[in-house]
């Protein structure tokens, strides 16, 4: 099984997990890290390390709220080829896809599938009205 860690500013990570679990049920082997404005680099690294260890999986997908932000930058140091992958720009469809496909693919392919789902989950509703 592939584990999940969501890392985001403020309370976003916890609420994304809560929302996803309303739809798909309990997401086993998952954790979240909330980055606060006054958190030191050492505190973030320690908290992120603990979250990764807590999921208890060899393979892990880390999802962060945006590329270039502290959650993303700190998570990148945990990248391990074919073991730990980082996806940025997390949204609810990505977490749902993770929950449904976490046992179907290796980390790299799973990350690509989740990325594609995240992109597809962003739409301009008015475009549908024009059709």
pLDDT above 90: percentage of residues in the chain: 94
Which residue ranges form the domains of the chain, and what is each CATH number?
Answer: 2-122 (3.40.50.510)
Q: Is the dihedral of CA 52, 54, 59, 62 positive or negative?
A: negative
pLDDT at 128: 82
pLDDT at 16: 98
pLDDT at 11 over 80: yes
Per-residue pLDDT tens over the stretch 61-109? 999 999 999 999 999 999 999 999 999 999 999 999 999 999 999 999 9
pLDDT at 127: 87
Task: Name the band, by pLDDT with cuts 50, 70 and 90, for residue 18.
Answer: very high
pLDDT higher than threshold 90 for residue 52: yes
For residues 23-51, average pLDDT: 98
Instruction: Summarize the chain as % helix, strand, coil (round to 5).
Output: 50, 20, 30
Kindly give the pairing relationship between strand 59-64 and strand 2-9: parallel
User: How far does CA 129 lie from the centroid of its chain?
Assistant: 32
> What's the pLDDT at 95?
99
């Amino acid at each position: 099984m592939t584990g999940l860690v969501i890392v985001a500013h403020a309370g976003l990570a916890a609420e994304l997990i809560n929302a996803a679990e309303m739809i798909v049920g309990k997401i086993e082997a998952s954790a979240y890290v909330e980055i606060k404005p006054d958190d030191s680099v050492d505190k973030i690294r320690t908290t992120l390390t603990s979250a990764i260890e807590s999921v208890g999986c060899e393979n892990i997908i880390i999802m962060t709220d945006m590329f270039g932000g502290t959650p993303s930058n700190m998570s990148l140091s945990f990248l391990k080829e074919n073991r730990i992958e980082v996806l940025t720009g997390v949204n609810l469809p990505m977490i749902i896809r993770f929950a449904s496909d976490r046992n179907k693919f290796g980390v790299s392919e799973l990350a690509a599938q989740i990325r594609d789902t995240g992109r597809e989950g962003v739409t301009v509703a008015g475009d549908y009205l024009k059709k």
